[in-house]
Structure 1
Amino acid sequence: MKHNILILCIVLALVAIVGHLWVTTDGGRLPCQLCRPSFRNSMALPDLVAKTLPAVVELRPGFANWLGAGVLISNDGWIMTAGHVVEDQEVMIATMIDGVKYMSVLIITDPNDDIAILKIDIKDAPYVRMSKVYPRLGQSVYIIGHPLGVFNSVSAGIMSNIHIDEAPFGVDLIMTDAEVTGGNSGGGVFDTSGCLIGIVVAETVYFTGIEANLAVPVSKGRELLNGYLRTQEAETTCDCVDVSFVR
């Protein structure tokens, strides 16, 4: 009897050791904390949201029934958004987090990349910095926008793909599994430092039922704005001027 108990103990110990190795080795199952978006090595997500939220505005046309979001990228009122949020409107109403409204003027748009730049007359506006580093596959991200008209909503996920340039999209886009729906368009995709890495442009559902939440890399908007400023020989406090473009 004692001999059988000893054998049973040895077997159970071996099972425990093998199970531990299977969970922790590179070829095995990932620890559960690595299976979810992680903000461990940065500010906590609520703190990041509090930091970036004031820079996200709601955009509405004066006499139409749609809305979208935009992101302030300088303290003197430059706003980056999706081109289809603006459509053919020359003026949009920009609502800040405190409810104050500004008339934003369309400055330049690129229909090919679905990016638009607007301007409001403001000083010392809250704004976010644009990342100078191209997104990395698998990095944690979060999105702020106005899905279904719900002001300043947040979703989080990872960067699922960093180069989508084939049909049916036709332009270079990035993809995230952070939830996106109507009203998120023009909102910001942010990294774990609170820097802007993309502008939400679409939610697409493949025939398989898989959702693809798409954004334009912020480098596209930076390039568009820099080109305009150089043409106009204008000055701005925007931190995107005269920096190396991310390709």
Structure 2
Amino acid sequence: MLTEREKKCFESHEATLLDYGTIKVLDFKRPDSSYYQIRFLFEEDYCRLHISGDLGSLTAANCTNMTYEKFAEDYAGNPGYFREKVECHNRPFFVFDENMAKASLKEYLDESGVLAEVLRDGRMDWETDDDKLNDFFEDVFSDFTDAQGIGSTGYEALERYFSDPWEFASSLGKQETNILELYLYAFQMAKAQIDQRKNPFEKDGNRRSKASKGQRSQLPSGGSRTGP
């Protein structure tokens, strides 16, 4: 979920739409800065989308609905569905936090009944529980990275106690970067500006209608009103 701080980054952005038929280019940026600028280029005859700008780049495709109008309907509120259609990207969708991974692993060891075995295995008289757990974590997290999480050496350490550690270890410390949500939010904001320009009285229409009704209801019996 996006933070309010992330959303505010688009407050001063202005949207422009260039329509070349099967090619549509939606730009969303500040008039005086490239900060958080983003471009959505739709190849509608190939149902392909290219995103570029200050927030990285991405290419996505689908057989029928990767177009300007259908993107708003089918993808804007569904980042999980959109992720399935991504072909390439240069910003990670997930990162791995080592401290979070260690806390989650300790909890999993305890819940699965393995923690006691880890603390007891090969223990010396002078070693404490913290000593044993830290030794085990050194093996498990020796090749941990924020891009992939636990590495091959870590899985080998876990296999001493679990037959298939991949079932739980692959998600330890995993966090979404929200980059897809950021793209989709920017698209929604930009398209809303374009739609408002196409229908400038859409938002004011209801207010004017209500005001007009209120004024008519205050007219004396038999009275009339001229003008708009």
Bin of the TM-score, shorter chain as denominator length: under 0.3
Structure with greater helix share of residues:
2
Q: Which has the higher strand share?
A: 1
TM-score of the aligned structures, taking structure 1 as reference length: 0.22
